[in-house]
Structure 1
Amino acid sequence: MQQTKGLALEVRLSAYIDGELGEAERSELDALLARDDDARTLLEKLKAGSAFGNRAFEDFLHDPVPLALVRQIKQGGGISPKLERVTTSNHPKRSVRVLPRLVAASVGLLLTGGVAGFILGSMANFVDPAAETVASPWIDEIADYHRIYSRQKAHLVEVPASQASHIETWLTSSVGVPFKIPDLTRKGLAFEGARLLVANGKPVAQLVYRDREGEIFAICFLRGGNGTQGNEFSETIRGDLGFVSWQKEGSSFVVVGPSSAAGLQDLAHTVAAVI
């Protein structure tokens, strides 16, 4: 059991909420709460802050991980020294636990004002701002398609790689985008075949590749774009998938792969140069 006598009331009440006090100290705080309105108000604020903090942390755990962080971990960047110093601090354990609760309680109180909505809205959507603006709805649909088809074994593609010439003719006429199937063997990717998809009510070509670990990558494109130049590549992430998109000659292209793939940007540049 914790011994909090002599510490700030916030610390003592935090231990009280967590049920970490001995019987004598808990009885002492019960008596204080029975006679002191300010103490009761502080207790309620801490309880509200704890509940709010738990919900916010749960939401944070489900937020998309930024591509830069995923790649740093993939490449062995690890945790920054500054973060390690914070997490291995020699502060008392109770103080470390109380601080987030007090902060959460303060933020929880702001919910009664107009400022909190903006703060929480910004935190709940923790994604790269640039990626959010460039990601068009068709990429969201491609993400749904990719998650479904990439799990297929016998029916990964609609037309197999052995019919490459037919794929080029078929998809060029269907989508309206002339192209050549990129040879990505030097990138460790084997061409598996192709599919015809639909996004934003338009036909979309999907060229499917597999790497040495069995991960599925795809090149998707459709007619139409926003007029940006072909050398402007935009990255975004949708859960476990990473995307690099660009525009070229009136068409939109995107390379799709696991969000942990470190070479996705380089792969997109290669594809753009040869497709």
Structure 2
Amino acid sequence: MQQTKGQALEIRLSAYIDGEIGESERTELEALLARDDDAKALLERLKAGSGFGDTAFEDFLHDPVPLALVRQIKQGPGASPKTERVATVAATVRNVRIWPRVAAASVALMLLGGAAGYVIGAANNAAEPTNVASARGWLDDIADYHRIYSRQKDHLVEVPASEAPKIETWLAASVGVPFKIPQLGGKGLAFEGARLLVANGKPVAQLVYRSAEGEIFAICFLKNTSGPQSDQFEESIRDDLGMVTWQRGGASFVLVGPSAHVGMQDIAESVAATI
């Protein structure tokens, strides 16, 4: 239990919220709260700040993580100093309990004090371009599809690889993107077949591959002529899935596979060169 007597009331109330004070201090603070409306109002603001901070941190934990960082962390001993710094920061976040709550409460106080209109207005003005938001939405759909279909044993694909010419004609007409099925045997991937998906309200072509270890990879693409076209490769991770995205010829592409696979970008570059 902490001893907070003599410290700022914000810190004492934060420890009270966390249940980290002794019985005598708890009794003292509860008596103060019962007779002091200002202290009671401060307690409510601290609680609101705690919820605000918890939500923001939870959102941070669920943000996509770069594949390179994930693989670096998985290396364990011998990880680079950058990885060690990340681990140190994570440990600090776990150990420090009171000050983040006070900081979050300060943000809540600012919002409650009259700055909410400015913050909300700035957020609206800084909204992401439509094409970026759409790209994020369709990738989320693709990740959900992949988790479902990659577990199918007898119905992994809609049209098998033996009908490759039909797949190219069918999907090109359905999606509006002409393509050739990439042959990835040199990368250890065998073509299994294809599916037609719908993501973010648009038809999406999915080409499915299997590795010698039985891991499932997929190339997905849809027509996208909005915004600037860039063939730069971007890697990210969504839980157990790694994703490499790029744009080319009026279409958006993504390679999906196991997050632990170290050659994702190399495969994506081969796909981009041949598809």
TM-score (norm 2): 0.72
Whole-angstrom CA distance in 1 between matches of 2:180 and 2:201 = 24
- Map of 2:19 onto structure 1: 19
Q: Evaluate the alpha carbon distance shift between residue 140 and residue 38 of structure 1 in structure 2; reply closer, same or farther with a 3 A threshold.
A: closer
1:264 is the counterpart of 2:267: no
Q: Equivalent residues in 2 for 1:142-157 (5 A)? A: 142-157=142-157
Count of paired positions: 265
Q: Evaluate the alpha carbon distance shift between residue 223 and residue 17 of structure 1 in structure 2; reply closer, same or farther with a 3 A threshold.
A: closer
- Map of 2:196 onto structure 1: 196
CA contact (8 A) 2:64 2:236 kept: no
Superimposed CA distance per residue, residues 51-110 of structure 1 (whole angstroms, 9 cap, x where no aligned partner): 332333334344433445434435555763334445666xxx7xx321011011111123
Superimposed CA distance per residue, residues 30-70 of structure 1 (whole angstroms, 9 cap, x where no aligned partner): 34444545433433332222233233333434443344543
Whole-angstrom CA distance in 1 between matches of 2:45 and 2:173 = 65
CA contact (8 A) 1:33 1:40 kept: yes
Q: Evaluate the alpha carbon distance shift between residue 75 and residue 37 of structure 1 in structure 2; reply closer, same or farther with a 3 A threshold.
A: same
Unaligned runs of 5+ in 1: none
Greater shift after overlay, 37-46 or 111-120?
111-120
Alignment match of 1:80 (pick from 80, 83, 94): 83
Whole-angstrom CA distance in 1 between matches of 2:204 and 2:91 = 51
CA RMSD in angstroms, aligned pairs only: 4.1
Whole-angstrom CA distance in 2 between matches of 1:230 and 1:83 = 31
CA contact (8 A) 2:72 2:83 kept: no
- Map of 2:205 onto structure 1: 205
Whole-angstrom CA distance in 2 between matches of 1:11 and 1:186 = 61
- Map of 1:220 onto structure 2: 220
CA contact (8 A) 2:187 2:267 kept: yes
In the alignment, residue 192 of structure 1 is paired with which amino acid?
Answer: E
CA contact (8 A) 1:45 1:105 kept: yes
In the alignment, residue 152 of structure 2 is paired with which amino acid?
Answer: Q
Q: In the TM superposition, what is the alpha-carbon distance from 1:269 to its structure 2 partner?
A: 1.1
- Map of 2:245 onto structure 1: 244
SS at match of 1:135: helix
Superimposed CA distance per residue, residues 142-195 of structure 1 (whole angstroms, 9 cap, x where no aligned partner): 445434322321011122223445544554566565543322123222211122
Whole-angstrom CA distance in 1 between matches of 2:160 and 2:181 = 13
Whole-angstrom CA distance in 2 between matches of 1:208 and 1:68 = 24
Q: In the TM superposition, what is the alpha-carbon distance from 1:260 to its structure 2 partner?
A: 4.7
Whole-angstrom CA distance in 2 between matches of 1:233 and 1:256 = 13
Q: Evaluate the alpha carbon distance shift between residue 228 and residue 267 of structure 1 in structure 2; reply closer, same or farther with a 3 A threshold.
A: farther
Provide the identity percentage.
66
Q: Equivalent residues in 2 for 1:155-170 (5 A)? A: 155-168=155-168, 170=170
Q: In the TM superposition, what is the alpha-carbon distance from 1:247 to its structure 2 partner?
A: 1.1
SS at match of 2:97: helix
SS at match of 1:80: helix
Q: Evaluate the alpha carbon distance shift between residue 115 and residue 99 of structure 1 in structure 2; reply closer, same or farther with a 3 A threshold.
A: farther
CA contact (8 A) 1:134 1:234 kept: no
Structure with a larger share of its residues in helix: 2
Whole-angstrom CA distance in 1 between matches of 2:67 and 2:17 = 38
Q: Evaluate the alpha carbon distance shift between residue 67 and residue 12 of structure 1 in structure 2; reply closer, same or farther with a 3 A threshold.
A: same
Unaligned runs of 5+ in 2: none
Q: Evaluate the alpha carbon distance shift between residue 21 and residue 239 of structure 1 in structure 2; reply closer, same or farther with a 3 A threshold.
A: closer
